[in-house]
């Protein structure tokens, strides 16, 4: 099964089985739902934003290993970060899943597991779902502040 290792790596399987930051936040400062009608993936994203940073973030949802692992990895990476820092990470992530990894450039090791997604056009949207949902929240924060 070596061909599959590029996508279904231990780390993805681990995040899928034991998603980090899984659950709800009571009274979150921000909440958004993401839905991918093509494959039925769903995510509920809970955020506590203190006007500067994401203090806490949790998610629940229903989806494939890729979308779940992506959400799990995302929460671990954005917790405690400012909007600008998050945007930078998102841009890197977006480039990786759409264009793949160019190993001349430095790649955040947390994101390396998504280098294989590009080879699966049907799964790009799964990987992006959590991030798009977070973007919705960040946009709303922008508009209100």
Binding characters for other proteins, 22-61, by CB under 8 A (x = yes): -------------x-xxxxxx-------------------
Which residue in the set 11, 65, 101, 141 belongs to the binding site for other proteins (CB under 8 A)?
Answer: 65
CB 45 within 8 A of CB 59: yes
User: How far apart are the C-alpha atoms of 136 and 90, rounded to whole Å?
Assistant: 13
**Hey, what are 81's tokens?**
């970060």
Q: Which stretch binds other proteins (CB under 8 A): 62-70, 78-86, 90-98, 101-109?
A: 62-70
Bridge partners of residue 36, in order along the sequence: 41
Using CB under 8 A as the binding rule, whether residue 124 contacts other proteins is answered as no
Using CB under 8 A as the binding rule, whether residue 121 contacts other proteins is answered as yes
Using CB under 8 A as the binding rule, whether residue 122 contacts other proteins is answered as yes
- Report how far apart, in Å, the C-alpha atoms of 58 and of each of 22, 27, 68, 126 are: 6, 12, 12, 18
Using CB under 8 A as the binding rule, whether residue 123 contacts other proteins is answered as yes
For other proteins (CB under 8 A), the number of binding residues is: 24
Nearest Cα to 76, choosing from 19, 116, 29?
A: 19
Which residue in the set 31, 56, 64, 83 belongs to the binding site for other proteins (CB under 8 A)?
Answer: 64
């Amino acid at each position: 099964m070596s061909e599959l290792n590029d996508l279904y790596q231990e780390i993805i399987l681990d995040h899928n089985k034991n998603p980090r930051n899984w659950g709800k936040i009571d009274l979150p400062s921000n909440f958004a739902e993401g839905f991918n009608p093509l494959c039925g993936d769903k995510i509920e994203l809970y955020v506590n934003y203190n006007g500067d940073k994401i203090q806490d973030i949790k998610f629940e949802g229903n989806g494939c290993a890729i979308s779940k692992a992506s959400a799990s990895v995302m929460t671990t990476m954005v917790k405690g970060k400012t909007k600008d820092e998050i945007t930078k990470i998102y841009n890197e992530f977006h480039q990786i899943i759409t264009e793949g990894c160019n190993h001349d450039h430095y790649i955040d090791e947390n994101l390396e597991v998504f280098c294989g997604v590009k080879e699966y056009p049907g799964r790009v949207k799964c990987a992006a779902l959590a991030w798009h949902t977070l973007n919705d929240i960040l946009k709303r924060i922008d508009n209100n502040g």
